[in-house]
Amino acid sequence: MAIRSLALKCRRLLEEASKLASWAPAPVKYWEVSVAPTTTFFALCPVPEVSTPDHLAFLTPPPHIFTRRQGPAGGYDSDDDRKPNPARNVNRCHTLLFIWVCIRRFWQSRLDAAFVNGTFDTHESISEYRLGTRKWKDLLHANAFRKSGKDEFDIQQFWTYGDIFGIQAFFEDANPVPQVLGRALTPIDFQYDALKALVVWDASLTSAKYQFEEADNILMRGARLSPASTILRCAKRTRLFRDSYNIPSAPHPSQSDSVETRQDWVCEFCGIISDWPQYSRWKNPPPKPEREVISKLDFKQLDGFLGIYIPIYYQGIFDALRTTPTPLLIRPDTSVLNPDYLLI
């Protein structure tokens, strides 16, 4: 696929992803893809040494597959946008979120094992993990996981169909359905907008984490880092977007109420990005994130400093992965939810 055509397709996908449902969490300031200058973002120059065969594919479901805004007719059938179907659109969203919640810990464990074991050192090995949005929607549709003619979620059916994720041997005896309020979670629970928003926010962190780590692996191949430096770099980056499989109980560190926490995150994140070739090729690149300088910045100044680096980060994601970058989202208000839901 020509780089120009791919970039235009990415832009159309991003425009579609920006049509958010009313309940969907919005991007954090400066993380909106539209802030990147048109003349630099998705620069139409080939980078053959880092290109991959998997265009517009994702290691985890991109948040926009859950948050597409309903159309003027009240909603659209996800399989055919020409057929208005409000009820199916809503129910399908609940189903996609439900199945993702059921499998996300297993799938993330599988990805982490692949990263640790070096499985992602070659493009060929990535293909089985990276899926397009249509494939993610198909796999997260609940019909494949139900007993025939019943609404009950069948764990055996889950493993039979879910083995494409490569996780059956890891967790064959585990029940994938979380417990809430003394019972099993169901798609009906996702009628609560706050729960939908929370799971999508969490999914955005997961998607960003693996995009960031995979892109860093690819873009730093020519850096010839020592084994010790590689281990240190991996340790720094692995906790920048999330550090466990549980839904975080607080906003992302870049949105923390503690200025010190924000300073630490900006310094580490921008420090990694400043090693990417996109930084040195950038017209008028921003200053390096020196600790003594970052430690003197207030909240507004930190946001501004980070805002200069985000377009470079997005460019790196596109150059390395040939896909659309996942923005950070604002953590939704969960005060209306029963605390049990925060533990799914």
CA distance linking residue 64 with residue 98, whole number of Å: 15
Higher pLDDT, 3 or 48: 3
Tokens coding 194: 């706050």
pLDDT of residue 198: 97
For residue 245, with 0-12 CB atoms within 10 Å meaning exposed, 13-18 middle and 19 or more buried, which class applies?
middle
The answer, yes or no, to whether residue 147 has pLDDT greater than 80, is no
- Are the CB atoms for 55 and 333 separated by under 8 Å? no
Do residues 62 and 328 touch, judged by C-beta distance below 8 A?
A: no
Which residue ranges make up each domain of the chain? 3-343
**Alpha-carbon span 168 to 93, nearest angstrom:** 25
> In which band, very low, low, confident or very high, does the pLDDT at 116 lie, cut at 50, 70 and 90?
low
For 314, how many CA atoms within 13 A lie in the half-sphere containing its CB? 28
pTM over 0.85: no
pLDDT at residue 341 is higher than 70: yes
- pLDDT for 9 equals 64
